């Protein structure tokens, strides 16, 4: 969204009026310098003029970003997406002096008028009713997000190239995943490949020579299908924030926190760390002032073709957990722990930043601590 329009919304102007003013090349500063008569000639009502000339501070941008995004720019009362909206103070500003997100709600213009109207013989939009409406709507949004991601991954067109075994086993308990409901659970336990808690019994696994990846044996397919089931259930139970829809520096710093589960689809670059004898691979993407980086152990790729695929520049979908968010000369840097990497996932939406900017050798060394080598 244009920053001028953001500034107007932060002052209490509805989105439709803000767009009309912006299209006439008005900025918030120019409007504030205009007289009441000049503003009236623009067709603005007394309420909008009062807000323009008000000494009330604007809603801080991080708070505004969060309130709008969590509501999906939609009225929390009528839930009619596409209606012109406005930010409403649940407890009036002149009483609360509060721009806290708990005191703000997205309303359409019609519902906003209702919130400022009292009816003797009908229900009023009281502060409590507004809070209840906001709570219910945000719960619906989170539920929809989970279901939409689950629907994307629940197809036969996806190749799960990599699983982070250690972290997934930890999350089985943390997220209360009922692994005994998986069709492959009994087989793995009966054959002593796994215990009842989902811990793999590696000493009982077949030990053929020349493994090319960690489940390169007959029973490995059952292990893969079990972990695929675990990942699918984890995604259905957890709110993975789709970073593609938040791919601006202001939204990332406002909406994403350490320990958040995130989902990113786009071009990533995979580089083997040849300074180590193991299968460590460094992964990054960089676009529009935002960098994402993490490392994986390619031994835990799920097939020889998956291991070969995760090299060089590849379009993949990463499910990860945020470990650190910092700022550097380029912009925002998100360091993650990858939980799973998939190929073949459908496009996430219009705002999906699939392209990636190149990274030079000096920046690579600064990012990962060693010189880049060939991808294979």
- What pLDDT is stored for residue 366 in this prediction? 60
* pLDDT, average across residues 300-321: 95
Same-domain pairing of 230 and 359: yes
In which residue are the tokens 């760390």 written? Answer: 273
- What pLDDT is stored for residue 135 in this prediction? 96
Can you tell me the distance from the alpha carbon of 200 to that of 297, in angstroms, rounded to the nearest whole number? 17
Residue 29 has pLDDT above 50, yes or no: yes
Same-domain pairing of 56 and 165: no
N-to-C CA span, the chain: 41
- What pLDDT is stored for residue 118 in this prediction? 66
pTM: 0.82
Same-domain pairing of 124 and 171: no
Domain boundary among 87, 113, 129: 129
Same-domain pairing of 71 and 191: no
pLDDT tens profile 125-144? 899 999 999 999 999 998 88
> Is residue 6 within 8 Å of 67, Cβ to Cβ?
no
pLDDT tens profile 212-252? 899 999 999 999 999 999 999 999 889 999 999 899 998 89
Residue 303 has pLDDT above 50, yes or no: yes
Same-domain pairing of 253 and 117: no
Name the most confidently modeled range: 202-211, 246-255, 301-310: 301-310
Which of these, 152, 163, 160, lies nearest to 338 by C-alpha position?
A: 163
The answer to whether position 143 is within a domain reads no
The answer to whether position 142 is within a domain reads no
Could you tell me what percent of the chain has a pLDDT over 90?
Answer: 74
Can you tell me the distance from the alpha carbon of 326 to that of 319, in angstroms, rounded to the nearest whole number? 20
The answer to whether position 199 is within a domain reads yes
Same-domain pairing of 323 and 193: yes
Same-domain pairing of 67 and 181: no
* pLDDT, average across residues 344-373: 55
Number of residues written out for the chain: 376
Q: How far is CA 207 from the centre of its chain?
A: 40
| Confidence band of 376 (pLDDT split at 50, 70, 90) | very low
- What pLDDT is stored for residue 354 in this prediction? 45
Residue 123 has pLDDT above 70, yes or no: no
Say if residue 199 is exposed, middle or buried (CB neighbours under 10 Å; 0-12, 13-18, 19+): exposed
- What pLDDT is stored for residue 329 in this prediction? 84
Can you tell me the distance from the alpha carbon of 185 to that of 167, in angstroms, rounded to the nearest whole number? 19
What is the total count of domains within the chain? 2
Same-domain pairing of 118 and 166: no
Q: How far is CA 51 from the centre of its chain?
A: 33
> Is residue 339 within 8 Å of 231, Cβ to Cβ?
yes
Same-domain pairing of 83 and 187: no
The answer to whether position 135 is within a domain reads no
Same-domain pairing of 191 and 324: yes
The answer to whether position 139 is within a domain reads no
The answer to whether position 283 is within a domain reads yes
The answer to whether position 64 is within a domain reads yes
Same-domain pairing of 218 and 71: no
- What residue numbers bound the domain in which 281 lies? 154-376
Q: How many Cα neighbours within 13 Å face the side chain of 28?
A: 19
Which of these, 23, 25, 29, lies nearest to 8 by C-alpha position?
A: 29
- What pLDDT is stored for residue 261 in this prediction? 97
The answer to whether position 49 is within a domain reads yes
Can you tell me the distance from the alpha carbon of 214 to that of 205, in angstroms, rounded to the nearest whole number? 11
Domain boundary among 129, 144, 170: 129
Same-domain pairing of 123 and 166: no
- What pLDDT is stored for residue 330 in this prediction? 85
Can you tell me the distance from the alpha carbon of 91 to that of 119, in angstroms, rounded to the nearest whole number? 19
pLDDT tens profile 160-173? 999 999 999 999 99
């Amino acid at each position: 969204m244009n920053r001028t329009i953001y500034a107007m919304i932060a002052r209490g102007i509805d989105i439709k009026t803000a767009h009309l003013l912006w299209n006439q090349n008005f900025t918030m500063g120019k409007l504030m310098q205009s007289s009441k008569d000049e503003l009236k000639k623009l067709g603005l009502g007394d309420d909008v003029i009062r807000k323009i000339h008000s000494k009330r501070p604007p809603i801080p941008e991080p708070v505004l970003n969060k309130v709008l995004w969590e509501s999906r720019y939609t009225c929390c009362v009528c839930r009619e997406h596409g209606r012109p909206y406005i930010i409403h103070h649940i407890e009036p500003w002149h009483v609360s002096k509060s721009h806290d997100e708990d005191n703000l709600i997205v309303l359409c213009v019609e519902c906003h008028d209702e919130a400022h109207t009292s009816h003797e013989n009908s229900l009023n939009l009281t502060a409590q009713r507004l809070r209840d409406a906001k709570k219910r709507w945000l719960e619906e949004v989170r539920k929809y997000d989970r279901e939409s991601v689950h629907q994307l991954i629940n197809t036969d067109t996806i190749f799960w190239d990599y699983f982070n075994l250690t972290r997934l086993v930890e999350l089985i308990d943390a997220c209360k995943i009922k692994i005994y409901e998986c069709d492959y659970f009994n087989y793995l336990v009966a054959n002593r490949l796994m215990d009842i808690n989902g811990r793999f019994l590696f000493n009982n696994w077949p030990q053929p020579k020349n493994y090319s990846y960690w489940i390169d044996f007959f029973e490995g397919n059952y292990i893969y299908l079990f972990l695929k089931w675990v990942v699918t259930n984890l995604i259905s139970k957890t709110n993975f924030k789709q970073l593609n829809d938040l791919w601006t520096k202001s939204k990332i710093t406002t909406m994403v926190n350490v320990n958040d589960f995130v989902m990113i689809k786009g071009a990533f670059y995979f580089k083997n760390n040849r300074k180590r004898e193991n299968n460590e691979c460094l992964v990054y993407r960089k676009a529009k002032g935002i960098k994402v980086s993490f490392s994986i152990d390619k031994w835990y790729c799920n097939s020889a073709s998956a291991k070969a695929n995760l090299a060089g520049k590849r379009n993949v979908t990463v499910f990860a957990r945020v470990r650190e968010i910092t700022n550097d000369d380029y912009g925002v840097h998100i360091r993650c722990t990858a939980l799973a990497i998939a190929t073949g996932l459908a496009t996430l939406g219009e705002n999906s930043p699939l392209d990636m900017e190149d990274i030079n050798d000096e920046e690579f060394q600064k990012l990962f601590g060693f010189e880049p080598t060939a991808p294979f």
